[in-house]
A and B are shown apart, each in its own frame.
Chain A
């Protein structure tokens, strides 16, 4: 397994366009997170999935943002009508939650850097 994979690595888009990012987690991991990181800041939580169920969304996630994990494997994050303030690194992470509820460490992908011009 090569770890968490994110595509594309870089995306430049014009303001108002829609963009979609993909995350492929580590294959046996049942939990998947999306984070956003801006320059000089730590990653900020956006949302997470347990299998295919989206369990929590941050108030940072406006209605222009939508995330899916249709079969409990890969996930997509779509941003509609992009704004310059959406420019950031979007990080995906995955982890394994056991039946006892214990969460192992989260493994992060290398991120997708979005630039809105």
Chain B
């Protein structure tokens, strides 16, 4: 069945470092792809999305490009801040369900 695999954490970076969190998916056809973020003590929030191949989703300085040829949707940010510390989930939407990866915890050190 459809699934999402993302890099295991935790990922620890210094403030202003470059961030990449890898995500690959397995699915038939072309699902919509998402990154959700969960800040401490809060619910899941949609960070960005892409609905077709080569689309780039972006929000709050984060970007991810839907790569059909590599079935990937890696999350990147050029300069992270302490406030970006959270758990990040890669996900796909298939048959009206959202299927999530296991999440990657990100720690940003000041």
Interface, chain A (partner B; CB < 8 A): 4, 31, 33, 40-45, 48, 55-56, 91, 93, 97, 103, 105-111
Contact = CB atoms under 8 A, between A and B. Distances in A.
B43 A109 contact: yes
Interface string B26-58: 000000001010000011111001000000000
Interface stretch (B14-22, B67-75, B78-86, B99-107): B99-107
B102 to A, nearest CB: 5
Interface class of chain A by DSSP: strand
Contacts of B93: 103
A48 B96 contact: yes
B46 A41 contact: no
The 5 closest A-B pairs by CB, nearest first: A42-B100, A108-B44, A110-B43, A108-B43, A105-B46
Contacts of B49: 105
Nearest to B34: A105
Nearest to B36: A108
Contacts of B36: 108
A33 B42 contact: no
B102 A41 contact: yes
A45 B44 contact: no
B102 A110 contact: no
B89 interface: yes
